[in-house]
Structure 1
Amino acid sequence: MADDNETPEIPPHDTPSEVSEPLDRALGERYLTYALSTIMHRALPDARDGLKPVHRRILYAMRGLRLDPTGAFRKCAKIVGEVMGNYHPHGDQAIYDALARLAQDFNVRYPLVDGQGNFGNIDGDNPAAQRYTEARLTPAAAALMEGLAEDAVDFRDNYDGSEQEPVVLPAAFPNLLANGSSGIAVGMATNIPPHNIDELCTACLHLIQHPAATDEKLLDFVQGPDFPTGGIIVEPRAAIKEAYRTGRGGFRLRARWEVEDLGRGTWQIVVTEIPYQVPKGRLIERLAGLINEKKVPLLADVRDESTEDIRLILEPRARTVDPTVLMEMLFRASDLETRFAMNMNVLIDGRTPQVSTLREVLRAFLDHRRDVLLRRSRHRLAKIDARLEVLEGFLVAYLNLDRVIEIIRYEDDPKAVMIAEFSLTDVQAEAILNMRLRNLRKLEEMEIRGERDALTVERAGLVELLDSEAGQWRRIADEIRATRKAFGKSARGGARRTTFDDAPEVEEVSLESMIEREPITVVCSEMGWIRALRGRIDPSTELKFKDGDGPRFLIHAETTDKLLLFASNGRMYTLAANSLPGGRGMGEPVRLMVDLPNEAQMVTLFVHTPGAKLLVASDAGDGFILGEDDAVAQTRAGRQILNLKEGVRAKVCRPVRGDHVAVAGDNRKVLVFPLAELDEMTRGKGTRLQRYKDGGLTDATTFTLADGLAWKDPAGRTRTVAQPELDEWIGRRADAGRMAPRGFPQNRRFD
């Protein structure tokens, strides 16, 4: 006998507890599983009903709650709880966001949820919390689910096997194209615009009659997208056809506008429709920003007068402004024109992602409708056969009523006796035994005979339908016509909203040409406060500055000019003269206009001269020639010109005038060399100008050798050194140079 304290021997285990496999294969298999789950169950819609699983589950749960279009509303919190608890355990906020979007008539062309309460608005405001809003199904949603109780589609277990949910909805209309869809999966995405149901139904009817119809022919019926917010598509027709033929493309969508006459020659522009998925609040902020930044000088003001309908007022700067030119500028600079990129990537059979053409999507819908028709017909046929079996039993009972009553009254097993005596089936006998006494009246027998005859006729029609493919397509065509009547252009909200037009050809107008050209004087202080005074101000004029501040630059310019600001960090910044603050007050800090770091100092400020060249250099003695056109920056961040090492700062930026370069250093040595020895670059460290043992570069300039090198002495007089006296300082680039000429300024600068 074994000792009780002895540890029992563990039998060998055939299956190893750990499995070794290459990391790349393990990661690949697991990532592929995740990718397929994302593609099929989250991001891409099914081409048959146009829905993603979350939307399908929301509609099915609302149907289970009996939230019919004519019924009462229920709290969205109740609906979200039902969906999350039974079908979609992925968080209530994600479900509520999807539910709310189905109710937004500015996002969904044919809303599937009828919302009561605050479900957000076109301004971009979010819906209220789910505990405050209520919802029910719309007639369009009911049409998508018509036939669910008639075995029209397959059902599958939910996530925990406690419930059943439909794999796809029957879909009485092509919802994928009617309401569109968007989503991002792993390695693929989809973006389908909404369309008009009337046009889609007409195209389906044509495809039924002509199965070989091409995408180009179908586009005779489907004009293009029909966005819920309207707008005007200005994409060329050829590009639209190519997009639907390939499944990929784009559509330029513009706001709808009109000119409103205010009398006495004045007018304003009224925008009544804005592009799809553009929040109105953000659009107004952008237009106001364009006015403040003076990027559209023709626009004076923007005002929102919207109530239930959109009404944006755009006021021109002057009555002489051309409205078309103004709107073309706004279309380029704002979201009054957007581009909708179409990518019809869908699950064409519920499993395989595929970028589909218009014909392929409509074909998938029609094939689904035929499958639904066949399944519903077979289901109805089975129901009729079951009912006819019962009715035949009832008629046998009426023909032998006395005997049936006698059997029921006296026999111990009446069911078996009736089956044997009248050749009844088990179902017929059970139905007779469960029949109520009041149904034995003569009138009931006549009703049963009438019902049997009607069901017999219906059954013959179903059998004929199942045997005839042509008959099936005729029935589908009749159903599509009924759908077109219910939701087409004659129904409320069914008329096309988005129209088509050609973009007007307006000659490109530069901003400079629209700025009134006026002389100004730009004043910039030592601390970097800048302003623009009207007219030409004499340099000797006394100007006011903040305490502790003083004048630094005084530049005569015009409102159409651009100013270039070169900073010690080696970056060049661009300022528009017309956007500078006015002369009232002390101006504004230049650091608010450009992204000039606090540690960087202004080196120089000057008016941009197109085609001119500049000499730029650092205090390390490196520099090059720069074309001014390459120095103009388009953003606040400026453009990096000189590449500087740590501790090195930009020192010189002067216009190139002449054929020689003069360089002065901290060691009071001056070097003159030909300008041709200096490289011309757009950006970089540059080449060595002068060699230093100690210190660095203090100044550099260009001059014409024949005129001599000039500078101002401490007394303000101009002194010039010319050849042959100047030959002593002429050398090669990167030489050390010689001590400065007599009278050279102590600050070692040429100006």
Structure 2
Amino acid sequence: MSEKPILPGPDGIEPVNLKEALEERYLKYALSTIMHRALPDVRDGLKPVHRRILYAMHQLRLSPDGGFLKCAKIVGDTMGDYHPHGNQAIYDALARLAQDFAVRYPLIDGQGNFGNIDGDNPAAERYTEARITNTAADLMEGLEEDTVDFRANYDERKQEPVVLPAAFPNLLANGASGIAVGMATNIPPHNADELCVALLHLIKHPNASIEKLVEMIPGPDFPTGGVIVETRESILESYRTGRGSFRIRAKWEKEEAGRGGYQIVVTEIPYQVQKAKLVERIAELLTEKKLPLLGDIRDESAEEIRLVLEPKTRAVDPLLLMESLFRYSELEVRFGLNMNVLSAGQIPGVLSLRDVLWQWLEHRVEVLVRRSQYRLKKIEHRLEVLDGYLVAYLNIDEVIRIVRHEDNPKAKLMSRFKLSEVQADAILNLRLKSLSKLEEIEIRAEHDKLSEEKRNLEELLASESLQWERISSEVKDVRERYSKATALGRRRTSFADAPEIDVDLDAALIEKEPITLILSDKGWVRALKGHVDDLSKLDFKQGDKLKTAVKAHTTDKLLLLATNGKVFTLEASQLPGGRGHGEPVRLMIDLEENHDIAAAFVYQPSRKLLIASTGGYGFVVPEDDIVASTRKGKQVLNVSEPDEARIIVPVPHGADRVAVISDNRKMLVFKLEEVNEMTRGKGVILQRSKGASVLDARVFKRGEGLTWTDAAGRTFTLQWADLKEWVGQRAQSGATVPKGFPRSNSFGPSF
């Protein structure tokens, strides 16, 4: 069923479908925002408000070497003639173009308070003055020579440029940011010298790859410096797709202080980070105790940035201190890349690095052609006038007679000397005093000079290669003016690889000192200072004795294997001191009363261990997978009573054999590859012995032989050739131990 048409109502009121009206109006609003407010033009890198400010200043003749003018006047002219959107918005945009910490190559030279990197606002527009910079002059070079199109302003009283000629690659050099309806743009600033090198390469090699261009433009160059710690692969992908991001860090250095102390001095902070808010935020984190490595922060900045960071103690590693600050504060930020721009001033789209550079070059070619055509017309007009002057000079008496006596001298001159209307008007407009200067030599010299220029322009317009040569020459001129050898052109942002450090803030506060862990038979634990070798003088509670001693450092983690197959983790720095008898280990871990500690050792990342039960079952487990994060421990080996978890020994790198011994003094040697690697379980049978319990194991390299230590501390080694009697396959019972093997049925300490 078709809808009924909406007919006009009484009193001229026309009903409108609300849905269609909203869709149409919102679409118009969206397009207007995208094209006339938020997105920059790829050709001059400017949004309309910036373009209008610069054009208004150009109309006010505010040249780089001229005088300054009150910003209130500039803002007023911009708002009244071109941009009717409120003076504060215009002044904010104008002020930003003058801030050397916000714009890589400022377009406005400001006089007065234009704000600072702390985030303070500029002074009111009535107090500040401005003029354009040389960079802005480059953008408007040739504006009066018909190089770009003009359109009517908002009330059609004046004309404004659709785009600027842009002899400077402003979009990438200064960057841009904006949010439209359904799309946004965010382009970081780059180094003009590097951009010019890439442009020159692109002129010679139009199909240049992104990889080659990124060799010349390695990344952004922010006005506030900083360090980019992004990988090359990520940067390549960002420039290839036009979307991505860059990690920027503050630049810092370590300054030595007295008595072995030091302080960190931050000299450059990331782009668009306000220094005062950064200091305030770090101070808040310090108060909230979220930065335990940091002792204090001071802002000693004057002309240059100088943030002083004092560590909590001298023992704090400066690298760890900075990594913690990078993680929790704006000393490290991520700057997004979204090269969403207007192509040809009308089509929004995300462009790659190559596309942006190429479209700027195409714009410069169009500007060159239009400027050449404009100049050619001027020359042709002047040549025509000079030809007329020459006729007048050669026939001066007749010309004077016609002017004095003829009723229509213009028509008479045209018919008498075959002149054009332009030539006749030029002759009639001559002043009498100029006649004496009209010398034939001067006329012919100017005529020859202009004729030569005309021929050159005609050749230029007819040859694409000559046009690219001219563009190349212009780019070289820009590169020379913005060379890295100049103060303005030098690269400010550096590159570095971010150190791969796992920042453990609690561990970083601990000073590394040697200790000896003492675990008694009844489960009392303590830590003696230093690595103690003579343990004979240790004092224990009545009826208690030494069970195991482990040499470690205060920064270590200690792993405890319980007879129920659980592994517990203790921080060495948290252990009770060596005075007295220590504390019961059960106060630190949740260990059932019917179970005990079977082994204790220092955690080593990336190591592998062989774990086994008295029942003869076991497997290989990565040590990283048995570290427990809670006092409840981590179940690793599944055991059933009466079996217990008793054996845990390291697997040396390159080891290929396992030796297992049981309390019936039977020993078996087999290949390590026969044992499964797991993270939890019962494992496989290592040695089968009826009624006997497996007591110890050792993993070794075949080429080095099997080594054990007796009760007196003497070491014995049995070479592989002498081990043939005990070599077999996993799950066999083995043979009686070698002669002289310790009565304890143990290979001795394994860690």
Q: 1:330 aligns with which of 325, 333, 340?
A: 325
C-alpha contact 1:301 1:316 (8 A) present in aligned 2? yes
> Which position in structure 2 is the counterpart of 1:506?
501
1:86 aligns with 2:91: no
C-alpha contact 1:465 1:471 (8 A) present in aligned 2? yes
Cα displacement (A) at 1:352: 0.8
Cα displacement (A) at 1:136: 0.5
Q: Deviations over 1:73-105 (max 9, x none)?
A: 111111100000000000000000000000000
Q: Deviations over 1:257-295 (max 9, x none)?
A: 001122432211111000000000011111112221221
Shift in alpha-carbon separation, 1:443–1:402, aligned structure 2, 3 A: closer
Q: 1:372 aligns with which of 341, 362, 367?
A: 367
Shift in alpha-carbon separation, 1:406–1:24, aligned structure 2, 3 A: same
1:240 aligns with 2:230: no
C-alpha contact 1:296 1:511 (8 A) present in aligned 2? no
Query: Alignment identity in percent?
Result: 65
Letter in 1 for 2:423: Q
> Which position in structure 2 is the counterpart of 1:391?
386
Mapped partners of 1:461, 1:265: distance in 2: 73
Question: Which deviates the most, 265-274 or 439-448?
Answer: 439-448
Q: 1:294 aligns with which of 277, 284, 289?
A: 289
Mapped partners of 1:426, 1:134: distance in 2: 48
Cα displacement (A) at 1:323: 0.8
Q: Deviations over 1:179-211 (max 9, x none)?
A: 000011111111000001111111111111111
Letter in 2 for 1:337: E
Q: 2:143 aligns with which of 127, 131, 148?
A: 148
C-alpha contact 2:72 2:125 (8 A) present in aligned 1? yes
Letter in 2 for 1:312: L
> Which position in structure 1 is the counterpart of 2:430?
435
1:105 aligns with 2:94: no
**1:385-464 correspondence to structure 2 within 5 Å:** 385-441=380-436, 444-464=439-459
Letter in 2 for 1:458: E
Mapped partners of 1:442, 1:107: distance in 2: 55
Q: Deviations over 1:198-250 (max 9, x none)?
A: 11111111111111112221111111100000000000010000000000001
> Which position in structure 1 is the counterpart of 2:471?
476
Q: Secondary structure at the match of 1:128?
A: coil
Shift in alpha-carbon separation, 1:471–1:503, aligned structure 2, 3 A: same
Q: Secondary structure at the match of 2:216?
A: coil
Cα displacement (A) at 1:406: 1.9
Listed as ranges, the gaps of 5+ residues in structure 2 are 1-6, 513-554, 556-586, 592-630, 633-751
**1:579-594 correspondence to structure 2 within 5 Å:** none
Mapped partners of 1:340, 1:392: distance in 2: 62
> Which position in structure 2 is the counterpart of 1:157?
152
Shift in alpha-carbon separation, 1:76–1:260, aligned structure 2, 3 A: same
Root mean square deviation of aligned Cα: 2.4
> Which position in structure 2 is the counterpart of 1:347?
342
Q: Deviations over 1:30-57 (max 9, x none)?
A: 1111100111111110000000000000
Q: 1:124 aligns with which of 110, 119, 123?
A: 119
What TM-score do the two structures reach when normalised by structure 2? 0.66
Letter in 1 for 2:485: S
Mapped partners of 1:278, 1:13: distance in 2: 58
Letter in 2 for 1:63: H
Q: Deviations over 1:603-655 (max 9, x none)?
A: xxxxx99989xxxxxxxxxxxxxxxxxxxxxxxxxxxxxxxxxxxxxxxxxx9
Mapped partners of 2:188, 2:425: distance in 1: 56
Shift in alpha-carbon separation, 1:221–1:404, aligned structure 2, 3 A: same
Mapped partners of 2:40, 2:414: distance in 1: 54
Cα displacement (A) at 1:135: 0.5
> Which position in structure 2 is the counterpart of 1:485?
480
Mapped partners of 1:231, 1:416: distance in 2: 74
1:199 aligns with 2:190: no
Shift in alpha-carbon separation, 1:139–1:13, aligned structure 2, 3 A: same
> Which position in structure 1 is the counterpart of 2:175?
180
Q: Deviations over 1:302-349 (max 9, x none)?
A: 111111100111111222221111101110011000000111110122
Mapped partners of 1:359, 1:300: distance in 2: 48
Shift in alpha-carbon separation, 1:474–1:611, aligned structure 2, 3 A: farther
C-alpha contact 2:265 2:308 (8 A) present in aligned 1? yes
Cα displacement (A) at 1:437: 2.3
C-alpha contact 2:393 2:439 (8 A) present in aligned 1? no
Cα displacement (A) at 1:438: 2.7
Mapped partners of 2:9, 2:386: distance in 1: 63
> Which position in structure 1 is the counterpart of 2:307?
312
Cα displacement (A) at 1:485: 1.1
Shift in alpha-carbon separation, 1:31–1:391, aligned structure 2, 3 A: same
> Between Structure 1 and Structure 2, how many residues are aligned?
516
Letter in 2 for 1:334: S
C-alpha contact 1:47 1:347 (8 A) present in aligned 2? yes
Q: 2:50 aligns with which of 55, 76, 101?
A: 55
Q: Deviations over 1:557-607 (max 9, x none)?
A: xxx9xxxxxxxxxxxxxxxxxxxxxxxxxxxxxxxxxxxxxxxxxxxxxxx
Letter in 2 for 1:514: L
> Which position in structure 2 is the counterpart of 1:272?
267
Shift in alpha-carbon separation, 1:101–1:256, aligned structure 2, 3 A: same
> Which position in structure 1 is the counterpart of 2:221?
226
Cα displacement (A) at 1:24: 2.5
Question: Which deviates the most, 380-389 or 401-410?
Answer: 401-410
Shift in alpha-carbon separation, 1:31–1:14, aligned structure 2, 3 A: closer
Mapped partners of 2:74, 2:14: distance in 1: 44
Q: Secondary structure at the match of 2:378?
A: helix
Q: Secondary structure at the match of 1:456?
A: helix
Mapped partners of 2:380, 2:333: distance in 1: 58
Q: Deviations over 1:377-399 (max 9, x none)?
A: 00000000010000000001111
1:77 aligns with 2:72: yes
Shift in alpha-carbon separation, 1:413–1:272, aligned structure 2, 3 A: same
Q: Secondary structure at the match of 1:270?
A: strand
Shift in alpha-carbon separation, 1:271–1:449, aligned structure 2, 3 A: same
Q: 2:248 aligns with which of 228, 234, 253?
A: 253
Shift in alpha-carbon separation, 1:513–1:440, aligned structure 2, 3 A: closer
Q: Secondary structure at the match of 1:150?
A: coil
Listed as ranges, the gaps of 5+ residues in structure 1 are 1-11, 518-559, 561-607, 613-654, 657-751
Shift in alpha-carbon separation, 1:229–1:442, aligned structure 2, 3 A: closer
Mapped partners of 2:389, 2:420: distance in 1: 12
Letter in 2 for 1:162: R
Mapped partners of 2:213, 2:289: distance in 1: 47
C-alpha contact 2:293 2:505 (8 A) present in aligned 1? no
Q: Secondary structure at the match of 1:149?
A: coil
Letter in 2 for 1:242: E
> Which position in structure 1 is the counterpart of 2:90?
95
Shift in alpha-carbon separation, 1:123–1:381, aligned structure 2, 3 A: same
Cα displacement (A) at 1:408: 1.9
Cα displacement (A) at 1:21: 4.9
Shift in alpha-carbon separation, 1:451–1:94, aligned structure 2, 3 A: same
Mapped partners of 1:410, 1:95: distance in 2: 61
